[in-house]
Amino acid sequence: MTVETHPHRAPIPKGRWLYDARVRSVLYQTLLVVILVAVGWYLISNLLVNLERQNIATGYGFLDREAGFEISESLISYGAADSYGRAFIVGLLNTFQVAILGIVLATILGTLVGIMRLSSNWLLAKVSAVYVEIMRNIPLLLQLFIWYAIITVSMPSPRAALQPFTGLVLSNRGIQMAVPAADPIHPWMWAGLLIGIGLAIGIKIWAKRRQDATGQPFPVALTAAGVIIGLPLAIWVLGGAPTEMSIPELQGFNFRGGRTISPEFAAVLFGLTFYTAAFIAEIVRAGILAVSYGQTEAAAALGLRSNMIMRLVVLPQALRIIIPPTTSQYLNLAKNSSLAVAVGYPDLVSVGNTTLNQTGQAIEAISIFMAVYLSISLSISAFMNWYNKHIALVER
Amino acid sequence: MRIKTLLAASAAVSAFAMIGTAAAQDLTQTIQERDELNCGVSTGLAGFSNPDSEGNWTGLDVDVCKAVAAAVLGDDDAVSYTPLTAQQRFTALQAGEVDILSRNTTWTLTRDTSLGLHFAGVTFYDGQGFMVPADIEVDSALDLDGASVCVQPGTTTELNLADYFRANDMEFEPVVIEQLEEVNAAYFSGRCDVYTTDRSGLASIRATVADNPSDHVILPETISKEPLGPAVRQGNDQFLNIVKWVVFALVEAEELGVNSENLDEMMDSENPGIQRLLGVSPGMGEHLGLDESWAYDVIAAVGNYGEIFDRNVGPDTAVGLDRGVNDLWTNGGIMYAMPVR
């Protein structure tokens, strides 16, 4: 550092302290803090006085009370007898579910479309260009309504449901699939899957070190796939290989059994995925175009095949350009998931609004929304920044 | 320069401290100074509040707004309507965006106490029901186990629904959508088997939204009490009294046989009750802080309660509801006005 600390700091001349830069900066900063505190205090006290005057109850105590309303889909058990707090958690998990799946799918689709748009195949390039222009220019809310209408209007009623084969049912109640019936071995298989993924990452790191040291390549993809699929499979066989399936069957009004993807969830997921993918596609295209064509030519001159050029030379460089704007698309997707309320998917905002309306606790409910979306955004941002740094290090 | 900055900063702080010390005056004066009543209505429910082809709001809830405007301002057109969803309505009233909420809203204990509101009477006694497509061949709500049910969020309807299915040990899948048009679309596209809301609402939706009203049946069960009426913010006692007594005056006028057509003849009536109501013998207007002609203006503008009912939701309208419990207490209903005296 070039800035010195001042062991022999010059004494401030008397009467001129107001003109001293250090004093001034302290003064201004103190003033700023005082103003911020005063404004904040004013706003909060005004709020409390108004709530008090209008006899509106305050506090988070309502979260313990019985909610009394049902929620159509939930990752954890929930009933009308559960508390508002639990209802909020149900909504939060639903938001996570749709946002995480949306981010994964939008990334895959966006990358494909982005690369396709640069393809030398005229048809592929034009189709993706049209896709991007249409999706980017129609408001997301409208797209959600369109998807929802497509699913609920064009699909038949449960009694006339389409059944391409046993175990798959398409109707305006959503897509219903046969899934393996609940079995005590399943949690262990999930654990096996996680361990498999961990092992695969370990193998990749080891293989890279070995290749760096000895130059010998290792079939990472094949081994990883073997470990990730093999471990849960082995556990399944050890657990007696249960094959019983839960099959959706028409009982009364609706199909029961199996796993259901509701029209609301599907509409929100499709909407978020196709909309965000268009933006990601443009980012990917821009990122690839930004890598000098000389890199491709140089790689080709080395004798690399075109998919290797893309994978080993162009994409790693493009990624550094792609990551930061993609991060902001992820943030947008997570925040846009709150539009789910329009088609009735019970996300955090939907459940929170209902709670707000039943209890009248507007300030509290909104403060929960703010805290949650802020945390989600900051977490995505932090993760992507870490990832960005991580891949930036590869380049020297 | 620096001094100026400092001065500006302190001025800003003191300006903030000044806001909010506006003189406390009753809402009634504020409305009179503004010469307009801000009224929160539903986003479009035929018979209750719905814009017609020319954009004029009509309906029973709208007539309540007009009646209050006639009493306070002497002009039933001096109303600005704000369409509100079930989700928005209470916040809009609490925040002062509207002066009065006249939007088929159920009077409940929680809302009357913890939301900073006061309900000012009942303009329509309703109850929650279920509507199903006729071809589904269900005759009772007790056969609805496992059904998908379309419902608007943030309503008492949503809670009654959960209560009813819980009490009868049945399951259901809620399809909860905020915008009324979207809920309607979901039901009529077959996304849900059942539509639930107040019976008057079901009748209204069946009459005005369904392609063929006879394709849908409203099941016999009424699973709740839904007294609907206007609400105002707490802390405006005079305005609360005015709204309350405007509602009573509408019913009282029907009881006394006063309507918009015979109003001027009735000014000469010998009946002391009519004389008090119409301000021929003064006093009532003064107690409310209004002109003595307040009730006269109200009835001249919208008629008595019976006329409002018949014009908007009665048997001759598309909604086609019978008076039922909304008939006068003297005719076997429960509409009963506190005495205007």
Residue B323 has pLDDT above 50, yes or no: yes
Complex prediction ipTM: 0.75
Residue A220 has pLDDT above 90, yes or no: no
Contact across the interface for B90 and A46, Cβ inside 8 Å: no
B44 to chain A, minimum CA–CA distance in Å? 17
Show residues of chain A in contact with B91, CB under 8 Å. Answer: 356, 362
Contacts of A242 (CB under 8 A, 6+ apart): A180, A181, A183, A185, A236
pLDDT in the model for residue A15: 64
Contact across the interface for B116 and A54, Cβ inside 8 Å: yes
Contact across the interface for A42 and B145, Cβ inside 8 Å: no
Pair of tokens at residue A184: 């005590």
Least trusted range by pLDDT, from A141-145, A173-177, B11-15: B11-15
Average pLDDT, chain A: 87
Give the Cβ contact number of residue B315 at 10 Å.
Answer: 11
Show residues of chain A in contact with B114, CB under 8 Å. Answer: 55-57, 359-360
Contact across the interface for B172 and A342, Cβ inside 8 Å: no
pLDDT tens for each residue of B247-271: 999 999 999 999 999 999 999 999 9
Confidence label for A8 from pLDDT (cuts 50, 70 and 90): low
**H-run or E-run covering B126:** strand B124-126
**From the list B9, B86, B146, which residue is nearest A357 (CB)?**
B86
Confidence label for B85 from pLDDT (cuts 50, 70 and 90): confident
Taking the C-alpha atoms of residue A352 and residue B176, their distance in angstroms, rounded to an integer, is 13
Confidence label for A110 from pLDDT (cuts 50, 70 and 90): very high
Taking the C-alpha atoms of residue B70 and residue B271, their distance in angstroms, rounded to an integer, is 24
**CA dist list (Å): A181 to A72, A128, A239, A243, A256:** 21, 40, 14, 8, 13
Residue A5 has pLDDT above 90, yes or no: no
DSSP string of A30-46?
A: HHHHHHHHHHHHHHHHH
How far is C-alpha A168 from the chain's CA centre? Answer: 28
How far is C-alpha B8 from the chain's CA centre? Answer: 48
Taking the C-alpha atoms of residue B194 and residue B189, their distance in angstroms, rounded to an integer, is 12
| Neighbouring-strand partners of residue B128 | B198
Contacts of A350 (CB under 8 A, 6+ apart): A91, A340, A341, A344, B153, B176, B178
B86-100 burial code (b ≥16 CB/10 A, e <16)? bbbbbbbbbeeebbb
Contact across the interface for A172 and B114, Cβ inside 8 Å: no
Taking the C-alpha atoms of residue B131 and residue B116, their distance in angstroms, rounded to an integer, is 34
Show residues of chain A in contact with B6, CB under 8 Å. Answer: 31
pLDDT in the model for residue A10: 61
Taking the C-alpha atoms of residue B341 and residue B326, their distance in angstroms, rounded to an integer, is 23
Contact across the interface for A53 and B178, Cβ inside 8 Å: no
Pair of tokens at residue A193: 């899957």
Tokens 């004389």: give the residue: B275
Mutate to test the interface with B, among A48, A65, A70 (most CBs of B within 10 A): A70
**From the list B191, B234, B235, which residue is nearest A263 (CB)?**
B191
Tell me which DSSP letter residue B95 carries: T
Residue B339 has pLDDT above 80, yes or no: yes
End-to-end CA distance of chain A: 24
Q: Give me the mean pLDDT over the B198-210 stretch.
A: 91
Q: Give me the mean pLDDT over the B276-288 stretch.
A: 92
Which is higher by pLDDT, A208 or A4? A208
Contact across the interface for B158 and A153, Cβ inside 8 Å: no
Taking the C-alpha atoms of residue A374 and residue A391, their distance in angstroms, rounded to an integer, is 26
pLDDT in the model for residue B128: 94
pLDDT in the model for residue B335: 95
pLDDT in the model for residue A320: 86
3-state SS, one letter per residue, for A164-215: EECCEEEECCEEEECEECCCCHHHHHHHHHHHHHHHHHHHHHHHHHHHHHHC
Show residues of chain A in contact with B179, CB under 8 Å. Answer: 342
pLDDT in the model for residue A315: 84
A396, amino acid identity:
R
Pair of tokens at residue B199: 């019976």
| Neighbouring-strand partners of residue A129 | none
Contact across the interface for B182 and A358, Cβ inside 8 Å: no
pLDDT in the model for residue A1: 44
Residue A130 has pLDDT above 70, yes or no: yes
Give the angle subtended at the CA of A140 by the CAs of A326 and A124, to the nearest 5°: 65
Provide the residue count of chain B: 341
Taking the C-alpha atoms of residue A168 and residue A179, their distance in angstroms, rounded to an integer, is 10
Taking the C-alpha atoms of residue A78 and residue B321, their distance in angstroms, rounded to an integer, is 38
Give the angle subtended at the CA of A345 by the CAs of A344 and A347, to the nearest 5°: 125
B23 to chain A, minimum CA–CA distance in Å? 14
**CA dist list (Å): A244 to A52, A180, A183, B132, B144:** 60, 6, 9, 36, 30
B180, B42 Cβ separation under 8 angstroms: yes
Pair of tokens at residue A108: 């895959």
pLDDT in the model for residue A105: 96
Confidence label for B13 from pLDDT (cuts 50, 70 and 90): very low
B165 to chain A, minimum CA–CA distance in Å? 10
Contact across the interface for B147 and A350, Cβ inside 8 Å: no
* B76 CB-contact burial (10 Å; exposed 0-12 / middle 13-18 / buried 19+): buried
Residue A3 has pLDDT above 80, yes or no: no
CB pairs under 8 A between A and B: 141
Contact across the interface for B114 and A57, Cβ inside 8 Å: yes
Contacts of A84 (CB under 8 A, 6+ apart): A62, A63, A64, A65, A66, A67, A355, A359
Residue A337 has pLDDT above 60, yes or no: yes
Name the 3-class secondary structure at B194. Answer: strand
Give the Cβ contact number of residue B72 at 10 Å.
Answer: 28
Taking the C-alpha atoms of residue A199 and residue B42, their distance in angstroms, rounded to an integer, is 59
B267, B300 Cβ separation under 8 angstroms: no
Which is higher by pLDDT, A316 or A137? A137
Show residues of chain B in contact with A90, CB under 8 Å. Answer: none
Contact across the interface for B166 and A69, Cβ inside 8 Å: no
Q: Give me the mean pLDDT over the A3-31 stretch.
A: 72
Contact across the interface for B154 and A358, Cβ inside 8 Å: yes
pLDDT tens for each residue of B105-135: 999 998 898 888 999 999 999 999 999 999 8
pLDDT in the model for residue A163: 84
pLDDT tens for each residue of A377-388: 999 989 988 888
Which is higher by pLDDT, A163 or B242? B242
Tell me which DSSP letter residue B134 carries: G
Average pLDDT, chain B: 89
pLDDT in the model for residue A95: 95
Mutate to test the interface with B, among A54, A82, A250, A264 (most CBs of B within 10 A): A54
End-to-end CA distance of chain B: 68
pLDDT in the model for residue B25: 73
Q: Give me the mean pLDDT over the B67-91 stretch.
A: 92
B203, B195 Cβ separation under 8 angstroms: no
pLDDT tens for each residue of B21-59: 444 578 999 999 999 999 999 988 889 999 988 889 999
A78, amino acid identity:
Y
Show residues of chain A in contact with B43, CB under 8 Å. Answer: none
Q: Which of B48, B51, B40 is nearest to B86 (CA)?
A: B40
Taking the C-alpha atoms of residue B125 and residue B323, their distance in angstroms, rounded to an integer, is 10
Pair of tokens at residue A319: 């990624």
Taking the C-alpha atoms of residue B306 and residue B308, their distance in angstroms, rounded to an integer, is 5
